[in-house]
Every structure is written in structure tokens, then in C-alpha cells.
Amino acid sequence: MKFLDLAKVYIRSGGGGAGCISFRREKYIEYGGPDGGDGGKGGDVIVEAVEGLNTLIDFRYQQHFFAGNGQHGMGSQRTGKDGADKVLRVPVGTEIIDEDEETVIADLTEVGQRITIAKGGNGGWGNLHFKSATNQAPRRANPGQEAIERTIWLRLKLIADVGLLGMPNAGKSTFLAATSNARPKVADYPFTTLIPNLGVVGIDEVEFVVADIPGLIAGASEGRGLGDLFLGHVERCAVLLHLIDGTSGDPAGDYQTIIRELEAYGGELADKPRITVLNKIDALDDEERSFLRDEVATVCEGPIMLMSGVSREGIPDVLRALRAEIDDNRLRHKKSNDDDAGVEDAPWQP
């Protein structure tokens, strides 16, 4: 399945049905009178967050969504049928943005959340509604309310607890593959990761979700490389894991590049809790590890951890540091062995 996190759609609610002008005329009824029914209500356009989706790809092939119109009223006091609602099913974490691409209409962060973004028109009154003591035979009825047309944007921001940041080939995908059942593409060239990946990581009987996004380079905020298009997927994370390639030749410069891009992106992303890790230490001896850690420390305020996604050295300490930054209400507790008998857990356990 292809990944799509931004889609433009055109929606229209249903128009209300017109009221009916009708009079009762039956052979054995001495007094007739008005009996025109009301028009039916037009259908609403609703957006609902559902389970089992992690992309907006369906909206690439269909961009127009119309709710049903209300049926006109009929004689014998018959009300027209209401128009059918149109429900757009989107992944959890989808933002609904107005046509100006700035105004956020709604943010669907929980399964089952629904919002009506175009309300159907009310049906018009039939002439029965206008009968009075001084107007026994009204010959007027209301038309139904018109439909609402609008254009909206759907933007998906993945729901994750930890977001991975780093330059291309910093080892983000290797870390995700080593600690979860996710199988992102891993190769020895930059921009191996082209779309975000999610993985469930377990440590000390709790689990949390990690999001891996394509690497950033200098000038990403200006559109270089893959740009900063995917940074929105780590906006909801509780903590960021910043991986630095210990074999790059300039780890301190790589660190500063990522920080500058976070600041250029704006919002609260640069202020989120962040854990900095010097990765690929399996290729470094003790002296090189100490030297590079001190070098990065000159530009990094917080502590610097050491890790290797290949040899898995230092991974348990990194996971525990991440777990400490995540609120307990976001964590998911693993089932006990008795409840989980016969079910394989994550491929790696500390």
C-alpha cells in the first residue's frame, strides 16, 4: 500500500427537499384542505477516525464526495425521505484543514471521533404548515435549504510516542528493525527511508510506538532532499530520539544541522524532550568513542548516550531513557506470559 499523508478533497452536503403544495380531495370527505408534506433533510458530510488505516491513499483516487439530497414533500401529509449522509473514513491522527491550508477545523486523535464538516440543508415546509383560521387554503410552500459546498485538506500526522531524527544513514531504520517487528528498508546509501515507518518497541514489560521518518539534511526547511514534509509525523511524540552517525566524520556538525532544521520548522518541535545518541559505536574503539562523545558534548546541552543498532550494544539503556520521558497513560503494558502463551513477542528483548 502506498503512503499518502496529504489530500485535497471536495465535499458537498445534501440539499433539503422542497415542501409540497397539495389539497385533499376525496369523494366522501366533506372538507378537504391543505395536506402538503415537508421536504426531507439533506445528508451531512462526516469525517470519522477509524482503526486499521495508516495512509490517505484512498483520497488520491477519489476527491469528490457528495451527500444525498432530501426528497421533496408529497401530498397526504407525506414527508420526503432524508438524504443519505456521506462518511469519510480517515486514519487516527488526521487533521482537517480549511481551504486556506492554515485553519485547522478538527484534529481526530482517537478512534471513533466524528465531526460534521458540511451540514445538510433542512427540508422546506409544505402548505399544511401555513394553514390558519384566516388562511384556510394556503398556496405556498418553502423550498429546501441549499447544499453546502467546500474544499478541505486532510493531513495525516502519525500517532507515536517516540520520533526518530537524524541525518540520512544515521541508523534510524536499523534501530527500528532491531527493537521491533517493523521491517523498514535498510541499505548503505542515503534516503533509504522514503516514507514514515511505525514500530512497537518493548522494554521492562511496557510497550510504546516509535516513528521513523526520512532523514533531514541542511536546507530541508527550504525543500532540499525530501524537505521537512515528514516532520509533522513526530509533532505528536512525547520524546524525540536524535541519532548521530559516529562514523560520519563530523558528528557535531550533523547534530547542529538537525537542530537548525527543527528550529526552522517552527512550532513546539524544537522544544520537545530530546535524547541524543551517538550511534554505530560498533565501528569505534574506546578512544574514538570518548573523543567523539566529548566533541558532540561541546554543542549539545544534555547527556549523550552511546549505542549500536547492529551489535545492539547500549540499546536497553536508550529504551529505558525513552520510557522515562513518556507519560504512563501513553504506555501499553504487555500481557503476562500466561495470557500470552503461544504468541511470539518482539524479536528482541533486553
d(CA 15, CA 146): 5
DSSP helix, strand, coil percent of the chain (3-state; round to 5): 20, 25, 55
d(CA 294, CA 288): 10
The CATH homologous superfamily for domain 162-333 is: P-loop containing nucleotide triphosphate hydrolases (3.40.50.300)
R_g (Cα) of the chain, nearest Å:
29
Neighbours of 235 (CB within 10 A): 16
* More reliable by pLDDT, 131 or 226: 131
Domain with CATH 2.70.210.12 in the chain: 1-156
pLDDT at 178 over 60: yes
**pTM of the predicted model as reported, rounded to 2 decimal places:** 0.76
The topology (CATH level 3) of 1-156 is Spo0b-associated Gtp-binding Protein; Chain: A, (2.70.210)
Helix (H/G/I), strand (E/B), else coil: 76 = coil
- The pLDDT value recorded for residue 338 is 46
d(CA 281, CA 307): 6
- The pLDDT value recorded for residue 43 is 95
- The pLDDT value recorded for residue 224 is 66
Amino acid (one-letter) located at 245: D
Amino acid (one-letter) located at 258: I
Closest CA to 162 of 341, 330, 17, 280: 330
User: Which grid cell sits at 243?
Assistant: 541519532
327 φ/ψ angles, rounded to the nearest 5 degrees = -60, 145
Annotated binding site: 166-173, 191-195, 212-215, 279-282, 308-310
* More reliable by pLDDT, 280 or 219: 280
Lowest mean pLDDT of 104-118, 123-137, 207-221, 286-300, name the range.
Answer: 207-221
Give the pLDDT band (50/70/90) at residue 341. very low
Annotated binding site for GTP: 166-173, 191-195, 212-215, 279-282, 308-310
Arithmetic mean of pLDDT over the chain: 84
Domain with CATH 3.40.50.300 in the chain: 162-333
Lowest mean pLDDT of 29-43, 100-114, 193-207, name the range.
Answer: 193-207
Question: Which residues in 36-64 are b (16+ Cβ under 10 Å) and which e?
Answer: bbbbbbbbbbbbebeeebbbbeebeeeee
User: Which grid cell sits at 91?
Assistant: 486514519
Closest CA to 19 of 130, 118, 137: 130
The DSSP line for 278-301 is: EE-GGGS-HHHHHHHHHHHHTT-S
- The pLDDT value recorded for residue 32 is 79
Annotated binding site for Mg(2+): 173, 193
